[in-house]
Each structure stands twice: as structure tokens, then as C-alpha cells.
Amino acid sequence: MSDKFQSFVPSATPATWLGVMGGGQLGRMFVHAAQMMGFKVAVLEPARDCPAGHAADHLICAKYDDEAALAELALKCAAVTTEFENVPAQSLAFLAERTFVAPGAACVSVAQDRLEEKRFFTGCAPTSGVLPAPYKAILGNDDIDAIPDALFPGILKTVRMGYDGKGQVRVKSKDDVRNAFAGMGGVACVLEKMLPLAYEVSVLTARGADGESVVYPIAENVHRDGILFTTTVPGPNVCAETAAKAQAAALSIIAQLGYVGVLCIEFFVLQDGSLVVNEMAPRPHNSGHYTIDACVTSQFAQQARAMARLPLGDVRQHSPAVMLNILGDVWFEGDSDTPREPAWDKILALPGANLHLYGKDDPRRGRKMGHITFVDPTLELAQQNLRAACGILGIPF
């Protein structure tokens, strides 16, 4: 390892620069956390008016595969990360030839491809103890003809670029698959068997370049229309045995991936109590936002520590927490197309309410605009304040 890749500590004068690919809200929250630790942050993002760009010390406005821009980012920054999984893996590989990149291109490329991700999880199973749902690659009509009946009912998902419920269709027969496959333009897909789900959990874990790993408390998630609605920690349905198994599986997976940085892995808990691994995100995650207000070290501060090859932070949760996603819908009353500002004063009057808005000027229905985390002495009180907030914002509960 060359001298320029050796460990360093943050310095306020002059500050060490960290870089992030992507200008969304995850990048914005990373910028804030890194700056609190004394770092300066450069963001590379095609859109000049972006949430992370508003907060960053330097914005490089360019496409993610612009080699001149990538070279500028690498020259300025001692380490670079990504805030979303669909940044080109080739760009991360280009950066890695010039600076330290965490997570690396190979890790991100696995998470970009649902089929590769499932193959990887299957290969990890002897050690992790968990498998993905039964699945089949759908690359053409021959694959559809060969689908076993046991995979129905199922969900057909595009192999690449799907998120927040996009690129997914529920299917009950081969004819359904043919229609859905054609509707998706014949792109590579994977068919997953639908399983009797009891609830979903996500496990946030982090690993340093030295191999040290930490794992956060288990988060129980509720989705609406494919988008995360709430995250509750501790999960009201999660028993100690399930939590321990999911955390152990996550630590095994992140080690086998050779990953450096923050990784979120989603699991399904079935009605019989068994655990199934669903997918992973090679970055901080929506379900990990509770760590900002409820844990000693937030997921974003942890990301900065891993990038800087500093000791990983304490993951203890000091208070029960419930996180509510805020979508653009709450800016609109009924069927109105005219936005109005939600009653944030009433939200902030609730005990334990922590409001995080993402700096987006254009509220749209279904668009993530912010989140509220309720941090209270008891989980019951946090859930009570969640219900009150939903009432104020007009969110059905």
C-alpha cells in the first residue's frame, strides 16, 4: 500500500477533503456529518441544484463518468464514497487508481445487479446461515417457458436500476411473466417466489479497512407502495433470537464481500420465524436515519470514519426511536395541485420530534422530502408521537 493510502486523522486547518459521488439527501447528510468531524467535502453530481451540493464545500457539476471531473475529485480528496448504488462501477474503479475508494467498485457492482446479488448471497449461505428467496433468471422467452410452478406467485424484478418499488410486477402465471417482461422492454429480470412474510427488518453494519466490523440494533420496517413508511427500533416484533441471527448474517456477508464502509442488508422474517435475505444497499440507508438522533454514532459519521480509516464508532442506541418518511404528498391537501407548507410548528411541538428536511424545493407526490425521528424514553411514547404526527400531516395511519 502506498504512503498516500495510509491512515490519517481529520484536521481543521487545513481540513482533509472527502469526496462523495451523488448529490441527493444521503450525500447531504454525509456532508453534514463529515463537516462536524472537521472534514471538508467535495460532491460530484450532474445537477447543480442538488441537496448535497447546497451543503458541500465544493461541488463538481459533471456526469458520473466524466473522467476529467473524476480526476479532479480524486486529486482533491483523500477518500471517495458513493451515496447511491447506481453510480457507474467503472467510475469507482477509475477513482480507485488515484485515491482510496470505499466501498470499492467490485462491491457496488454486486449490489447493482439483483441476479449477481442473489448468487452472492447463496454463496455466503454456508457461513451466513441465510438464503435468498427461491428465484430464477429471466433473460428471454426460453427462461419463461422453463419457470417451475413452485415459483408462483412471484415478483418479477428488473435486474438493474429498480428501487422504491420501481421495476417490479407481481405475477401469478407464465402468461403474467410474459406480459410483464414485455412491458419492461425485455430487459434482464429475476423472478422471485413470494413468501409468507411476517415483517421486514434491516441490518445496518459497517466494516473498516482493517477488517473491524460493527452492527447496529435491528430496525423493523413498514413499506407503503414500495416506499419505506416507518422504521422502528427496537422492532416490536423482533425477538432476541431473530435479531442475533440477522446481525450475525450481516457481519458474515460484509466480511465475505470484503467491504469497507456502511452497508445495509434487508431481511424478510417469515411467518414460521425463518429468515430470508432480500437485498443490500452499499451505502447508508433510509432505514438507518434513526441513528442520527438515537445512536452514539450516526450511520453517516460511521461512513466518514470508515473512509478515513479511523476507528469505527460506538453503535449503541441510547433511546427507542421511530422514523417517519416524509413524502411530497404532505404538501398537498386532498386532491389539490397547489402546494402549501406543512405545519412543522405543530410537529416540532411533539416531544422527542427531530425534523430533517432535505432541501428540495419541488415537493411532488411520492418524492422523499425529509423524515422525522421520534426519540423518547419509551417505545410506546415514540409510537404515540408518530401517530400524532401522522394526524397533523394528514397521513393515514
Q: How far apart are CA 372 and CA 353, in angstroms?
A: 7
Beta strands in 312-363 (DSSP E): 321-327, 353-357
Peptide bond into 10 cis (omega under 30): no
Tell me if 168 is assigned to a ligand binding site. Answer: yes
Tell me if 193 is assigned to a ligand binding site. Answer: yes
Tell me if 285 is assigned to a ligand binding site. Answer: no
Tell me if 200 is assigned to a ligand binding site. Answer: yes
Tell me if 114 is assigned to a ligand binding site. Answer: yes
Question: What does the CA dihedral 268, 271, 272, 274 come to, rounded to 10 degrees?
Answer: 0
Tell me if 172 is assigned to a ligand binding site. Answer: no
Q: How far apart are CA 266 and CA 246, in angstroms?
A: 9
CA distances to 185, 300, 379 from 7, in Å: 47, 19, 40
Rg (CA), the chain: 21
In the block, which residue shows the cell 477509475? 94
Q: How far apart are CA 62 and CA 51, in angstroms?
A: 15
Strand order in the sheet with 135-138: 135-138, 189-193, 154-158, 168-171
3-class secondary-structure state, position 324:
strand
3-class secondary-structure state, position 61:
strand
Tell me if 224 is assigned to a ligand binding site. Answer: no
Peptide bond into 103 cis (omega under 30): yes
Tell me if 165 is assigned to a ligand binding site. Answer: yes
Do 313 and 302 contact (CB within 8 A), yes or no?
yes
Q: How far apart are CA 309 and CA 305, in angstroms?
A: 6
Tell me if 3 is assigned to a ligand binding site. Answer: no
Tell me if 279 is assigned to a ligand binding site. Answer: yes
Strand partners, 209: none
Tell me if 194 is assigned to a ligand binding site. Answer: yes
* Cβ neighbours of 290 (radius 10 Å): 30
In the block, which residue shows the cell 444521503? 26
Burial class (CB in 10 A: 0-12, 13-18, 19+), 364: middle
Tell me if 118 is assigned to a ligand binding site. Answer: no
Tell me if 289 is assigned to a ligand binding site. Answer: no
Q: Which three cell numbers stand for residue 257?
A: 464481500
Q: How far apart are CA 18 and CA 33, in angstroms?
A: 11
Tell me if 145 is assigned to a ligand binding site. Answer: no
Q: Which three cell numbers stand for residue 211?
A: 477488517
Tell me if 98 is assigned to a ligand binding site. Answer: no
Q: Which H helix or E strand runs over 16?
A: none
3-class secondary-structure state, position 28:
helix
Q: Are strands 58-61 and 17-21 parallel, antiparallel or unpaired?
A: unpaired
Binding site: residue ranges?
Answer: 114, 157, 162-168, 192-195, 200, 223, 278-279
Binding site for ATP: residue ranges?
Answer: 114, 157, 162-168, 192-195, 200, 223, 278-279
